[in-house]
Amino acid sequence: MNPEFFELLMLWHDGDEHEKIIKTLEGLGKEGMDYALKGILARAYNNSGRYPDALDLLFSVADQGSGDPLWHFRAGYSYYFMQMERLALEEFERALELDPEDGDTRTFIRWCRGRLGMETTFKTADCAAADDYDPVIYPQESLRAVSEHIVRYFGSCSEVLREIVSPDIQVDIFMAEPSPERNFYTLVTVGMGAREMNVPEGLCGVMLERAELLLCLPPEWNVKSEDERWRWPVRLLKSLARFPGRGGTWLGWGHTVSCGHPLAENAGFTGSILLAPAPFGDGAAVCQVAGGEINFYQVVPLYEEEMAYKVEKGVEALLDRMNDSMLSVVDISRRNVCRSALS
């Protein structure tokens, strides 16, 4: 496999851009892919919820995969999320035999055995990582307060996009549907604020350590589609929610985060800024919980030139160039307000 091509596929994988992997590799056809590429495509199918497609592809190279722990792990992953736990357990146990050091495999074995009502301890000598996935979550009282805050200010939750595998924090997405008062979808993270961010020493005690994020989408947005053209806002929210923990940093009002590339094929934005949730009135920005506060910030996607303008001129200068509609609901066709501002 071409090293540059492999590196590009891994970059897309790390950015949760699984549809790009799928379209690219499907374009090669089965005859144009070797065993490794078929494994990468199967993984992308799994990550996009296309578990039967992943299994079909994996079993087309079953002979080559018989001694490969990754092959068995990916097959087990497909079976697990198709709720076929016994078949999943067989594949994960075979994967563990081939790679006894893999913590992810042990975790899935524990989950399979738990669902099947079986003993969850391991017979392997090294079981220290059996609980590799132990995400930070809200105490029940705080979760209740955050949920009530969302309903009160952002709208009744019509659906929750539950996160099944959470390696660090569990980031679920609450979704409020368009209403006569607010004709747009509102997506809100729940879980980011369960872990304190690493705010600068001078800001300690100002209660900026915890946050949740929200993003508003137009009423015609296909929020239930798995297509990346519609799914990227969910990916963006989850990526931003994990950004402070992975970088040992923090996010607050006026902060911008660049992706370094367009957020999606149909959206030219390359980053985003965090602002107060202005469309939702007084009180929406802060939720009181036991022992502190959760700050709610609205995510507004930005073009590359807008990101650069904010860095050079400041937040207020950028906001002066944007009208209320640009700051409220995502519009993938809106004009770039800074296209020539820095030239």
Could you give the residue range(s) of every CATH 1.25.40.10 domain in the chain? 3-115
> What pLDDT digit, counting tens, does each position of 126-145 carry?
334 444 567 888 998 999 99
Which element (helix H / strand E) includes 295? strand 292-302
pTM score, whole prediction: 0.65
Full DSSP string of 117-162: T------SS--TTTT----B---HHHHHHHHHHHHHHH--EEEEE-
> CATH for 3-115?
1.25.40.10
The confidence band for 342, taking pLDDT boundaries of 50, 70 and 90, is low
Quick check: 85 and 115 in contact, CB under 8 A?
A: yes
> What pLDDT digit, counting tens, does each position of 55-98 carry?
999 999 999 999 999 999 999 999 888 878 889 999 999 999 99
- The predicted model gives 260-279 an average pLDDT of 91
In the chain, count H helices and then E strands.
Answer: 13, 8
In angstroms, how far is the first alpha carbon of the chain from the final one?
A: 42
The confidence band for 247, taking pLDDT boundaries of 50, 70 and 90, is confident
Quick check: 165 and 159 in contact, CB under 8 A?
A: no
> What pLDDT digit, counting tens, does each position of 163-197 carry?
766 778 989 999 999 999 899 999 999 999 999 99
Average pLDDT of the chain to the nearest whole number = 88
> What pLDDT digit, counting tens, does each position of 15-28 carry?
888 899 999 999 98
Q: Please report the beta strands in 148-203, taking only residues with DSSP state E, as ranges in sequence order.
A: 157-161, 172-176, 185-190
Residue 125's pLDDT is: 39
Residue 228's pLDDT is: 83
Residue 189's pLDDT is: 97
- The predicted model gives 282-296 an average pLDDT of 94
